[in-house]
Homo-oligomer: A and B are copies of this chain.
Amino acid sequence: MAIKVHGIPLSTATMRVVSCLIEKDLDFEFVFVDMANEEHKKHPFLSLNPFAQVPAFEDGDLELFESRAITQYIAHTYASNGIQLILQDPKKMAIMSIWMEVEGQKFEPLASKLTWELVIKPMIGMGSTDDAIVKEKEEQLSKVLDIYETQLTKSKYLGGDSFTLVDLHHIPNIYHLMNTKAKALFDSRPRVSAWCADILARPAWVKGLEKLQK
C-alpha cells in the first residue's frame, strides 16, 4: 500500500513526517501542495485535513493529519522497520511521553513563532521580522532550554537514552533557527548544543532535506 505525504519542504510539520518515514526506511510519495495558490484551502485537500494545514498523510485507505499523530502512527505501525522511535518499557515510555508533550506544549509554540518571524515571514514576503515578538519568545525559550540543559544531564537524548520521536519532533524548528540569531540560545548551553549537533546530523534528516529541497 502506498504511503503519500502531502506538504511543502518549508513546513516544519511536513519535514517532521518526512524525517520519520526515512528513519523507518519507508518508501513514500511526496505530493507538493501549491499553498501559494491556496490549494490547501480547497477541496480535495480539505477532505484530507479540515484545518487546511500541511501535512496530510495517506497509508492505503487510512488518512491522517497532525504531524505528531502521523509520526506516532508510523512508529507504532512500522515498529520493526528502521530504528525504534518509541520505547518498549512502560515507565520509560511514560517519561518519553512527558517530553513529547513538553515539545508540543512548551517548545513548539515558541520555536515555531521564532521560525516564522526570523525565517519564513521574510522569506515568503509576508513582512519584516517583528523584533519585539522575537525578544519575548527568545526570553521564554531560554527558560525552556535551561530545563532541557538539566534534563540532558540525566539522559543522552531528551526522552531517554536513545533517539526517539521526542528528539525527532524538535529537529525541523531547530534546523531553521540554526541559521538565525536564535542559534545563540542553543549554542550557549553545552548539552543542548551537543544534542542539536547530534540530531541535526541524523542521516535520515539530511536525506529528507536533500529529497525535498533539491
Binding site for B on A (CB under 8 A): 50-51, 62, 64-66, 68-69, 72-73, 76-77, 90-91, 93-95, 97-98, 100-102, 104-106, 108-109, 147, 150-151
Contacts and interface: CB of A to CB of B under 8 A. Distances in A.
Given A73-B94, A90-B77, A101 B68 contact: yes
Contacts of A69: 94, 97-98, 100-101
Copies in the complex: 2
Contact of A97 (B72, B90, B105, B151): B72
Contacts of A101: 66, 68-69, 104
Contacts of A104: 101, 104-105
A153 to B, nearest CB: 12
19 contacts: A50-B147, A51-B106, A62-B94, A64-B94, A64-B95, A64-B97, A65-B98, A66-B97, A66-B101, A66-B102, A68-B97, A69-B101, A72-B94, A76-B90, A76-B93, A77-B94, A101-B104, A104-B105, A109-B109
A183 to B, nearest CB: 24
Contacts of A100: 69
Contacts of A66: 97-98, 101-102, 105
Contacts of A147: 50-51
| Residue among A68, A98, A106 with the highest chain B CB neighbour number at 10 A | A98
Given A69-B101, A147-B50, A91 B109 contact: no
A48 to B, nearest CB: 11
Contacts of A72: 94, 97
Nearest to A62: B91
A47 B41 CA distance: 45
